[in-house]
Amino acid sequence: MSRQIHRLTESIVRNAKPQEVIVPVADAAVDVVTKFEKDKARSSLLRGERDRRSAVMRNIRKLAAAADELEATRDGKPVTIRQRTRMLADGGGLWLQVSAGDGGTIRKSWIFRYSLPEKVISKGGRQRQRQRWMGLGSANTLSLAEAREKATQLRKMRLEQIDPIQARQGAKMEEAVAKAKMMTFDQCALAYMADHSSSWRSAKHARQWRQSLEDHVSPVFGFLPVASIDANLIIQALRPLWNSGKIVTHQRVRQRIEAVLDYARVHKQRPENEANPARWAGHLAVVFDKRNIAHIAPVKHVPALPWREVPNFMAELRAIDVPKEHTKGNRELRVPLADDTLAVLASLDRDSARVFPISENAIYRVCKRLRPDDVSVHGFRSAFSDWAHEQTEFPRELIEETLAHQVGNQVSRAYKRGDMLPKRRLLLEQWVAFCAGQVAKDNVVPMRAN
């Protein structure tokens, strides 16, 4: 490769061409090219025997190359004009490499040349410093000024005894390692559930957690790196739920996305100082305006039996099962048992693992069989609330406590240590009597807080 040392200009870069070298063609090569024309040589592959296919192909390439190079004569003799790579120096270790491409094209690229302290032995047997050539990019992409700026940065690295090629390889390796460690949203969600599912109140809740993300989130961005999740993707996943009126599911899925993204931030999968794009206040609340819920889909209340018909329904049902091991608020709740309830429990087998060995949906199926259209299990809570407020003088706080609702704010609940069990027992005694179609006992007196 020839090298010319001079300061480059944009005009020199634009007009630079590879170096042309004239090589005489041997008489034997001329005879071969004369005897076999280029097209006939290529077509000989079709006539060649199958077991000689590779040998014929090699001959074709040699003949085609010789024919292409046979372009001129010098002193009456055929010569071959070949193009060799030319190196043009700009100074400071910056070089422009000009070489011939396919189809007569010219390739130009920027090269940075520098030396390392270590010694090597050259082909001539001399000891010299090791030379390294670092590609900076194509001259079609980088201008002369941009290439000089890059060369300046690399010279500064050499002043600090940094090998630019090793530094670039190290950066690529770190990027590859970081990419290998990068988790998708689905992977991060599975890790979150593995760490938290033991504290959830039931296996059913864990299944709902996983299923809600698989149904509404995974198809949209579950396969993407968790670091790339932004508000636009979250809105895209949540909008179908909002527009279809599934507001409760919408809020639960949003809260679960927010929890997974917080988990990812703690585990260095997202920037620490970046706000959670799934947060509600002042962010997604602006997009999903609750004032528009009524226009999206009307609220459909669960079927509730009018309280006046509860005794008749209880006469048909004869018994009721209220599981006490799970509560919606995920907090301990003592349920007062009426005398009739205790009598039922006393008659059961004490060695049984369950009080009533029936399935989870048994009461629901009984309600649907007796009253298919206007009765649901949850609706009895509404019937109890209507009856207690309209037909008794028990305070509202006691009624809400009996329904396992949290009463008051966080401060008042912190000072309230009791659970009003005796008062709730009196209320439920009247409810049991009402459900059985009996008149409340004379000695049951509603109690109010003084």
Which whole number is the average pLDDT over 146-159?
91
Q: pLDDT-derived band of residue 127, with 50, 70 and 90 as boundaries? A: confident
228 shares its domain with 329: no
Report pLDDT for 410: 75
The whole-number pLDDT of residue 63 equals 57
When divided into structural domains, the chain yields a total of: 4
Kindly report the pTM of this predicted structure: 0.41
Q: For the chain, give the mean pLDDT.
A: 77
Q: Is residue 13 part of a domain?
A: no
Judge if 311 and 421 occupy the same domain.
Answer: yes
Same structural domain for residues 334 and 290?
no
pLDDT given for residue 62 in this prediction: 60
Rounded CA-CA distance 269/263 in Å is 9
- Are 79 and 93 contained in the same domain? no
| Residue 402 confidence (pLDDT) above 50 | yes
Give the span between the Cα atoms of 23 and 109, in whole angstroms. Answer: 26
Q: Based on the fold, state whether residues 252 and 268 are members of the same structural domain.
A: yes
CATH of the domain at 106: 3.30.160.390
For residues 138 and 34, the model is more confident at 138
**443 in a structural domain:** no
Give, in degrees to the nearest 5, the angle at Cα 295 between 294 and 300.
Answer: 45
Which has the closest alpha carbon to 304: 208, 371, 211, 209? 371
- In this predicted structure, what is the pLDDT of residue 421? 77
Q: What is the pLDDT of residue 322?
A: 47
Q: Which residue has the tokens 């500064």?
A: 156
Q: For residues 198 and 292, state if they share a domain.
A: yes
Evaluate whether residue 301 is within a structural domain.
no
Same domain membership, residue 109 and residue 78: no
Residue 258 belongs to a domain with what CATH number? 1.10.150.130
Beta carbons of 373 and 336 less than 8 angstroms apart: no
Residue where a domain terminates, one of 296, 323, 352? 296
pLDDT at 52: 56
Q: Which domain holds residue 62?
A: 19-84
pLDDT for the residue numbered 361: 78
Mean pLDDT in residue range 205-231: 92
Query: Of the candidates 262, 296, 330, which is a domain's last residue?
Result: 296
The count of other CB atoms within 10 Å of the CB of residue 286 is: 9
> Domain check: are 311 and 431 in the same one?
yes
Q: Which helix (H) or strand (E) holds 86?
A: strand 86-91
33-37, 179-183, 307-311, 426-430: which range is least confident on average? 33-37
Q: Where are the beta strands (DSSP E) in 383-423?
A: none
Please state, for a pLDDT cut of 90, what percent of the chain lies above it: 24
As a whole number, mean pLDDT of residues 431-444 equals 69
Both 100 and 117 in one domain: the answer is yes
Domain membership flag for residue 333: yes
Q: Say if residue 328's pLDDT is above 60.
A: no
- pLDDT in the model for residue 73: 61
Q: Are residues 74 and 126 in the same domain?
A: no
Residue predicted with more confidence, 400 or 376:
400
Report yes or no on 3 lying in a domain: no
Which band of pLDDT confidence, cut at 50, 70 and 90, is reported for residue 220?
very high
CA dihedral 147, 148, 149, 154 (to 10 degrees): 90
**Quick check: is 282 in a domain?**
yes
- Residue 293 predicted with pLDDT over 70: no
User: Does residue 22 register a pLDDT over 90?
Assistant: no
256 inside domain: yes
- Residue 257, Cβ density class (10 Å: 0-12 exposed, 13-18 middle, ≥19 buried): buried
239-284 residue pLDDT tens = 999 988 888 899 999 999 999 999 999 988 898 888 999 999 889 9
Q: Are 340 and 378 in a shared domain?
A: yes
Indicate whether 334 belongs to any domain: yes
* pLDDT for residue 330: 54
Residues 428 and 321 in one domain: yes
Res 71 pLDDT > 60 = no
Given 232, 267, 296, which residue is the final one in a domain?
Answer: 296
